Chains A and B, each alone.
Chain A
């Protein structure tokens, strides 16, 4: 068998690289000022730190503005069709466990047309890292509401306001049994890099929602929480093992009520000991789900960081294990034996 998956020599150390090594020679064609630029920069700057090889890295995407991402990475890559990248990634990641497979997608791509593939890739825990650029709008088709747009959104296709309840991407991922769920935003490179690093390190499917500004069709959608002047009081950094608190002096915090709900409170009112201590590794996703819904939109204090990071068997590895067990039990496949596995007879 051609064994591409095991062809890589582990003897040769990974050569040091710089951001430039990871940038392709293609001109980046997003609109000037698009949040995608800062996400691309964060990924390209992170890569040299990860100690991975360019030839073993693959970026896959579907359709949409975000989906142009693979063209700008000097790695292997595929710009596929609308919504299907998680499906394509499933075939690639399960047959090539040696590769780092990244999926770059948007809110239309993976929460609308590709919703089915997203939830099933998460459920199966395929070893891929999904970066979902959420700008709450269809950009490439020039400004229709998306499945994450707020109710009553006025867009080209909804001149009287949209009627639909939006998806909460993190709640959806948690409901789909995701083993790694995080959120970051395009205004904080350091936070993005740290979040992507964690997502990459996780074995199985990692899901990262990135609040991303579309300065042409939905400008300022997240300004109220990610803007430099608002961040400190509107973003709630989640740190494993630490009480959840935010504000310039850590004066705000999050508490867990007896009924299982969570709420933002003033630390001065209830005391530090009353605060909820964040636990990424909690088996039960219930609390992560509550935290994902703490904010009803990008106008209320919103948690960012890693919501959930638990260990669960990875799909491709399980597939490989079944092959290994079958081979151990029956020996390597023998074509002549296969053809004679039923009742055969000989004509003289």
Chain B
């Protein structure tokens, strides 16, 4: 910005800031947030993001239903959530202001595109009077910026039509915020040049808008100062900023390379899982086959067929698809073939809230099949953790010849965080260990191959893909005789096979790490969670500790089987609090398995927990213990406590 002539404004350092970009679905807010995030990541901040958008691709412009938002939390230290409350809201129109005002704390800054606050847009957002004029925003610091008019003005002689130029106003907003928080601008300028190389007019308009926004911050007599957020002190290493879905896709590729098994993804497009398909379909040079099936059933069916043939068979889905795949999972359990099912959870039941997060498929994953049909379940806790968990799922699937469910969710899938790239040599060994020859001697003394002879230690059966002479065999969904695998309707054999299948899965408890407890001596309350609540629980625990109390945190990656020591761990505490974004699913499992009086703390609002609510919920348990009360007075049932109602 060499043409700046005014004196530089004062500059202040912040430790952290939460910014929320909000606008119409067509305003490009996800892109804006994403670019700000990338710049901040490269700058070295720790960060967490939360894209929050409607299911409609383009709801009527200017309406509340069409508001799309992107929240990003940047800091100079380690953080675990995208932030409870934004410090700054960028509102591109009245609807974006109205839809997001409720979560803004008093005193926060609001930067509005004042051009959009005209009668028609105000009416669409159900404003009777202009909030910029009626005093209703007096508790906030409001900056009125004519984003549309400046953008069209600077693009006047760039050769683009005024209507097209207006579409660059999100880059104006990005430029303005980039100035306000002292982001390096070269990254964005370079990106615009690359991204729109094929559309020179669009590139020019976006560049002009971005620079205009940056200059506006510097020169307009509106902002008293700019702010800086220094790089966070992170563990040395190479980092990328990654979403959960990308981490999942990369985890699958890594597991494929690591195991030598060619990857086959059979799937059907569904929000919020489709990006895994999109990402994998780009990397065919790894021998990846992606099959967009005619339906969810075909997706998992083809993956199972590929597994029968000796490939790494994977299917990805979300809740409604998990319903449809249940029967095929049962077949995979009966066939005892490796298969990975990735469920990116969203709000249910039925179509529910396609773009909003929830973790309400745990009991479905556990029990959602007819008959006695156990399978391992693992869950990711942060976006980058999806990589490690996916590799672990493949390890279990291949070693134990079983379908494995990976639980991710919409928040992890689309959220991002900096990820220190792992050392590939540190990944677990995944050995397909295909059957090579006969494993049994029949009555005539002949060496034969029996598909259901089990490994003594793992109880896994041999995996014998077609192509090897002498190992020809038939398997199916009918009950099989122990050992030979021939069809058997014998009741005693069925009992034996049922218990063998269960014992195989239960035995995995001894092949996984013990419960991961972040603890300190003397804590009497344990907060235990699973999945994407990790960040919020960690933030809540940190706040409690900052108040001088003791509290321990455990977070489960393996949900079936549980770690072998979990019962003992739970027994050490006077109170066990289980926060979940459902109505109490893990708490039910813990109660059933360990007879522990697990206290459920839940919410299902389609958004992650807030650290503040978590802090209050934990505090109540600590105060309860101190008061010597046996139970939680605020909870009249195990699954009734609500994130908001509790504080």
Contacts and interface: CB of A to CB of B under 8 A. Distances in A.
Interface of A: 1-2, 4-5, 7-8, 24, 26, 53-58, 60, 63, 70-71, 73-81, 84, 87-96, 98-99, 116-117, 120, 319, 322-323, 325-327, 329-333, 335-336, 338-340, 342-348
A347 B467 contact: no
A95 B478 contact: no
A2 B308 contact: no
Contact of A74 (B289, B311, B420, B472): B472
A117 B301 contact: yes
B285 A344 contact: no
B124 to A, nearest CB: 37
Contacts of A336: 424
A74 B469 CA distance: 11
Contacts, number: 225
Contacts of A54: 469, 472
A91 B266 contact: yes
Contact of B466 (A99, A340, A345): A99
25 contacts: A1-B260, A2-B434, A4-B467, A26-B474, A55-B468, A77-B475, A87-B298, A88-B304, A91-B302, A92-B308, A94-B291, A94-B302, A96-B465, A117-B298, A332-B286, A335-B254, A336-B424, A339-B421, A343-B41, A344-B240, A345-B42, A345-B240, A347-B44, A347-B235, A347-B238
B486 interface: yes
B289 A94 contact: yes
Contacts of B476: 70-71, 77-80
Interface in B379-437: 420-421, 424, 432, 434
B159 interface: no
Interface in B33-84: 38, 41-42, 44
A88 B337 CA distance: 13
A346 B242 CA distance: 15
Contacts of B254: 335
Interface residues of B, number: 76
B241 interface: yes
Contacts of A71: 474, 476, 487
B310 A2 contact: yes
A70 B291 contact: no
B570 to A, nearest CB: 37
A220 B478 CA distance: 30
B309 A95 contact: yes
Given A88-B308, A344-B240, A53 B301 contact: no
A336 B257 CA distance: 11
Contacts of A77: 473-476
A4 B260 CA distance: 11
B578 interface: no
A8 B309 CA distance: 14
A153 to B, nearest CB: 28
B159 to A, nearest CB: 30
Contact of B283 (A57, A89, A325, A333): A333
A95 B266 CA distance: 12
Nearest to B301: A87
Nearest to A94: B289
A56 B238 contact: no
Contacts of A88: 301-302, 304-305, 308
Contacts of A2: 259-262, 310, 432, 434
B335 interface: yes
Interface in B276-292: 283-289, 291
Interface in B475-523: 475-478, 486-487
A13 to B, nearest CB: 13
Given A323-B285, A330-B285, A335-B254, A346 B237 contact: yes
Contacts of A339: 240, 250, 421
B287 A343 contact: no
Contacts of A335: 253-254, 257, 424
Considering the complex of A and B, which 9 residue pairs feature the smallest CB-CB distances, nearest first? A79-B476, A91-B305, A87-B301, A333-B286, A91-B302, A88-B305, A326-B284, A91-B306, A87-B298
Contact of A120 (B298, B469, B470, B475): B298
Contact of B264 (A89, A95, A322): A95
Interface centre among A26, A73, A79 (most CB of B within 10 A): A79
A26 B478 CA distance: 14
A303 to B, nearest CB: 30
B239 interface: yes
A116 B297 CA distance: 10
Given A91-B305, A319-B289, A322-B284, A1 B262 contact: yes
A90 B297 CA distance: 12
A344 B41 CA distance: 9
B295 interface: yes
Interface string B218-235: 000000000000010011
A344 B303 contact: no
B294 A117 contact: yes
Contacts of A347: 44, 231, 234-239, 420
Nearest to A90: B302
A79 B241 CA distance: 45
Contacts of B259: 2
Nearest to A326: B284
B467 A8 contact: yes
Nearest to A29: B487
A40 to B, nearest CB: 14
Given A333-B285, A348-B236, A84 B264 contact: no
A74 B473 CA distance: 7
Given A55-B468, A70-B474, A94-B302, 12 more contacts: A2-B310, A79-B476, A90-B266, A91-B301, A91-B308, A94-B306, A95-B289, A95-B311, A117-B298, A319-B291, A327-B284, A335-B257
A254 B581 CA distance: 69
B185 interface: no
A307 to B, nearest CB: 24
A7 B424 CA distance: 28
A194 to B, nearest CB: 26
Contacts of A57: 466
A333 B467 CA distance: 26
Interface in B443-486: 465-478, 486
Given A1-B262, A347-B237, A92 B477 contact: no
A4 B266 CA distance: 20
Contacts of A74: 472
B301 to A, nearest CB: 3
B480 to A, nearest CB: 10
B328 interface: yes
B597 interface: no
Contacts of A8: 467
Nearest to A118: B294
B331 interface: yes
